[in-house]
Amino acid sequence: MNFNEDPHRRLNILTGEWVKVSPHRTKRPWNGQVEKLPLDKLPKHDPLCYLCPGNSRAGGLTNPEYKGTYVFDNDFMAILPDTPAGSYDKGLLQAKSERGLCRVICFSPRHDLTLALMSREEVESVVELWIDQYDELGAMDFINHVQIFENRGAVMGCSNPHPHGQIWAEEAVPHLPALALAKQKEYLSKNISCMMCDYLEQERADGSRIVFENDGFTVLTPFWAVWPYEVMILPRRHMGSMLEMSGDEKSDLADAVRRIGIRYDNLFHTRFPYSMGIHQNPTDGADYPENHFHFHYYPPLLRSATVRKFMVGYELLAMAQRDITAEQAAETLRRLSDVHFSREDDESDE
């Protein structure tokens, strides 16, 4: 099988689902837009932004004059801590109540920054806050799962460019993390080893899907990637959550998060949109020796800053499909610079 020529299917070992790969389609004619978009010049502080320091939020509260990271309860939570217990069971029609809470994390007081434009030390402060929030929320008696994520860019549903992410903490372990846990547990019982440790060993030996590495983490395009430039960040040693990281590993994670953000922006010279999330141990007090924590990045852009992949038609009705292979995507990202395109002149002057 020639991965770069022949249509084929690839198995997602974390979900058990298959993705169709059609590499020959990259040869078809393309007459769409490919030009670069001008990069918006954002102010350091926007008086109309509800996330900037000192400004009023949509819910009527006022942000403090924070100088670093800042976290607060979402003014419009999707799940609520005081939801009464209840269930509905009418045969094929079933529902259960769900308790939880949502928070917003501001990565920086600067309105014009992103994780890619922050220093490694500044991103490390974000990593520390992720760890603190996972620990604090997970200790609540009714919280069994803490989902930390970032939606970046209007195309991913983010209405505010201020650098921020979200946390949804809830009673039940959501479907996708639960599915990945089940697959990892099944593998551990059969092989007496961690699935993602073994997977990472294979990827590092192959090398074709590795984007870059540092001492603590590997950034790669997963073999089963669906989105054009999808990546995962995996710790090099087995860990179930970020609570297990050493000081050096926290710094290495900040380095990985910053560098993949820079490479994404450099790809099409734009503020690259994506959804990013962290999968780590549930917080129900049980042991999860099978789980290997990791980051997922799902970016939609395909050929330029204005051309993106849509999950429609066949993808919605049959199965996920992609044209460029994981190997091609990784090679493209691997070739990109670790210097942000907007700061290349600054670097050359030093």
Which of the residues are catalytic? 164
Strands 18-21 and 8-11: antiparallel
- 145 close to 172: Cβ distance less than 8 angstroms: yes
Q: Of all residues in the chain, what percent carry a pLDDT higher than 90?
A: 84
Of 189 and 1, the one with more pLDDT: 189
- 319 close to 20: Cβ distance less than 8 angstroms: yes
| Sheet hosting strand 18-21, strand order edge to edge | 8-11, 18-21, 320-322
Segment 24-43 shows an average pLDDT of 62
149: number of Cβ within 10 Å: 15
- 162 close to 106: Cβ distance less than 8 angstroms: yes
Question: Is 154's pLDDT higher than 90?
Answer: no
Provide the pLDDT for residue 348: 46
Provide the pLDDT for residue 37: 61
What SS3 class is residue 256?
Answer: helix
Closest by CA to 150, choosing from 277, 261, 298, is 277
β partners of residue 217: 235
Provide the pLDDT for residue 155: 85
Strands 87-90 and 70-73: unpaired
Give the tens place of pLDDT for each residue, 105-126: 999 999 999 999 999 999 999 9
30: number of Cβ within 10 Å: 10
Give the tens place of pLDDT for each residue, 238-280: 999 999 999 999 999 999 999 999 999 999 999 999 999 999 9
Enter the tokens of residue 269: 């010279």
All domains of the chain, ordered by start, with CATH?
Answer: 39-83+95-342 (3.30.428.10)
Provide the pLDDT for residue 350: 39
Q: Of all residues in the chain, what percent carry a pLDDT higher than 70?
A: 94
Closest by CA to 128, choosing from 1, 257, 237, 224, is 257
β partners of residue 237: none
β partners of residue 210: 220
- 195 close to 187: Cβ distance less than 8 angstroms: yes
Enter the tokens of residue 340: 């942000």
Segment 46-60 shows an average pLDDT of 93
β partners of residue 150: 276
Task: Give the C-alpha separation, 58 to 77, whole Å.
Answer: 13
Q: Which pLDDT band holds residue 42 (cuts at 50, 70, 90)?
A: very high
Q: What rounded mean pLDDT belongs to the chain?
A: 93
